[in-house]
Amino acid sequence: MSNVQVTFLPNNVSIEVARGETVLRAAMAAGVHINASCGGDGTCGKCRVMVEAGSVEGETSDRISAEDREKGYRLACKTTVQGDVTIRIPVESAVDISALQRQAPRRTATVKQIGLEEIKEQGLFLPAVEKRYLELTPPDTQDHLPDVTRLVNHLRLQHDEHGLEVSLPVIRQIPSVFREQDFKVTVTLARPVRSSGKTQIIRVEPGDTTDRNYAVAMDIGTTTIYGQLVDLVSGKVVAENGDFNGQVSYGEDVITRIMFAEKPGGLETLQRVVIETVNKVLTRILKQSKIAREEISLITLAGNTTMTQLLLKVEPRHIRRAPYVPTASIYPTIRATDLGIALDDHVTALVYPQVSSYVGGDIVAGVMGSGMYRSEALTLFMDIGTNAEVVIGNKDWMACAACSAGPAFEGGGIQFGMRAAKGAIEDFSIDPETLEPMLMTIGNVRPKGICGSGLIIIVATLFEMGVIDNQGKFDRDLNTPRIRATDNIYEYVLAFADQTQIDRDITINEIDIENLIRAKGAIYSGCTTLLKEVGMQLDDVEQILLAGGFGSYVDLERAMIIGLLPEVAPEKVVYVGNSSLLGARMSALTNSVRQQVVGVTNMMTNFELSETPSYMDNYVASLFLPHTDMDRFPRLKTRLEERRALAAKIRAHGNA
């Protein structure tokens, strides 16, 4: 079969592929991102591209209107190239990594992370990898000790280091390194994960380099990968950077990626692209900090169960099949180079353990990094995302569960949903009389879609103003051109085509709202079910920790209005940000955290909600705004009555 050339604009990237290949797979091979949240199944309709020139074939899809098809729009997953073609990627599919660096807005809740000073005050600052400068006595005619014995004896007698092991690669370095500066050397010691283990001598260098010792902490997220470069001498973060996980082109969620991994060569592909992203982030933070690659002594990694297995190239198929078991819960220390990570041979990769198929190392890292595992207070830890996880407990006990929220919070299943990027609607208000909207987008540019935090604000505002009812249905009697029916589905026009970047009206419809209600219902009911199973109620909770990149941007008040979060006093809620990254950093800074990780993991009792009888009743009760039982939201109930009465009065006055 002959090859054809596919050129992607505005990237100006060209690639040769076999005739008959889909545009989506051609883009993957070229490293060009196209939003394909269903993994190429043709159901999400988000992989719209424009064929500017050339020959293609494809199925007619109801996801593309006849008018748009006439303009050249096609679904990339269902369109095959038959000759040389030029494909333009629409603005809504562009990847904007600048959005990953934006600061979370200040909210009414507390923002808190365990600080370096707190770690030092508690005597916990003992990095997992340390350097020692040694001035050894050179051998002579009266002293014939072997080099390695000389090194080990000195560490034992002068530094009280016992139980030392030296690897063969280090032994090979020693003869020349020792004699380069007359037996004045720096040794790098890797502390054992278990207290009964041995300290490893992983590197020797000539001279004194003790002031140059660094670790990399990384959060391997489903959507994004973040890294931090940590100075193990001062404990400070000296550089950080993030990027979209290269696997997003193969599916937006873990289930789609597991399915892709089951295809021939799929697992190898997914492992390769995630390592490529890790190395890309690593290169950026090294360049940003001007730190040499060989000065890195350790890398710590935390991710959910599927991301961890894909990173390690471990077959994930049984994660999504009953009885839903991961391959392992605890992983051995691994040489970073064995994973393909672009670091020196002496660097160890530490991977956080996981509890179950859907409560992974990112949650364990969050529990460790937030200090929940050391707290007396009864704490509800929530990491909100596609697969939301909740943990309840304190230093004495913990229970956890995963809630299958679906992709709504990351733009999936929402007609104009998108990730947080420039042009995404992130804030919204409405005139109570005219029902005209006011929008704010990331970057203050014309809108091109709705991000997850913006979706919560939009739905909460529409509900609070009486534009939709508690089932998410629009009030058909309201006098506004903003509310209309398209293909018998009612929607509200957020921005008309001439006000957008995409030359289409941006709307939110009743199906979008229904998907959000299901997502928030899964999370709220997961919390209430877990609390009930351990004999607790929401009133017993002393603090709520909101974790995750998305959690940092959630508007607390609006999240309570829709019933995503329970109605609690704002001072009870603490934003901890990317707790997975925080936990990864903590395991580099304090070896006691590393040594306690396995014990904490073992004390986390996992509940499979699908097998918990009360979960479905709680879930069904949560499929309303905010809940069927308004007495659970007393402050909102009072405020709704007052605001809706005022809004109705204003509209009645306007109509008069």
Looking at the domain assignment, is residue 594 inside a domain? Answer: no
Q: Does one domain contain both 347 and 219?
A: yes
- Residue at which a domain ends, from 42, 70, 94: 94
DSSP letter assigned to residue 467: S
Q: What is the Cβ-side half-sphere exposure of residue 23, based on CA atoms within 13 angstroms?
A: 36
Q: Using only C-alpha atoms, what is the Rg of the chain? A: 27
The count of structural domains within the chain is 3
Residues 331, 333, 337, 340, Cα dihedral to 10°: 10
Q: Where are the alpha helices (DSSP H) in 249-381?
A: 254-261, 266-289, 305-311, 361-369
Q: Does one domain contain both 141 and 225?
A: no
Cα distance between residue 595 and residue 202, in whole Å: 19
Collect all residues with Cβ–Cβ distance below 8 Å to 36 and sequence separation of at least 6.
24, 44, 46, 47, 76, 77, 249, 251, 252
Looking at the domain assignment, is residue 558 inside a domain? Answer: no
Looking at the domain assignment, is residue 61 inside a domain? Answer: yes
Q: Does one domain contain both 200 and 225?
A: no
> Strand, coil or helix: what is 81?
strand
Q: Does one domain contain both 222 and 333?
A: yes
- Residue at which a domain ends, from 308, 334, 351: 351
Q: Does one domain contain both 251 and 340?
A: yes
pLDDT at 252: 78
Q: Does one domain contain both 193 and 220?
A: no
Q: Does one domain contain both 223 and 341?
A: yes
Residues of the chain with pLDDT below 70 are 1, 35-41, 44, 60, 92-117, 123, 195, 386, 549, 647, 651, 653-656
- The owner of tokens 């690639």 is 15
Query: Of 189, 172, 206, 202, whose CA–CA distance to 132 is shortest?
Result: 189
Looking at the domain assignment, is residue 581 inside a domain? Answer: no
Quick: pLDDT tens for 187-222: 999 988 776 778 999 999 999 999 999 999 999 998
Helix, strand, coil proportions of the chain in percent (round to 5)? 35, 25, 35
Looking at the domain assignment, is residue 392 inside a domain? Answer: no
Q: Does one domain contain both 238 and 336?
A: yes
Looking at the domain assignment, is residue 618 inside a domain? Answer: no
For residue 68, give the CATH number of its domain. Answer: 3.10.20.30
pLDDT at 342: 97
pLDDT at 102: 57
Looking at the domain assignment, is residue 270 inside a domain? Answer: yes
Looking at the domain assignment, is residue 122 inside a domain? Answer: no
Collect all residues with Cβ–Cβ distance below 8 Å to 198 and sequence separation of at least 6.
163, 164, 165, 192
| Residue span of the structural domain in which 14 resides | 3-94
For residue 197, give the CATH number of its domain. Answer: 3.10.20.880
Q: Does one domain contain both 89 and 30?
A: yes
User: What DSSP letter does each residue of 351-362 carry, written as one string?
Assistant: E---SSSSS-HH
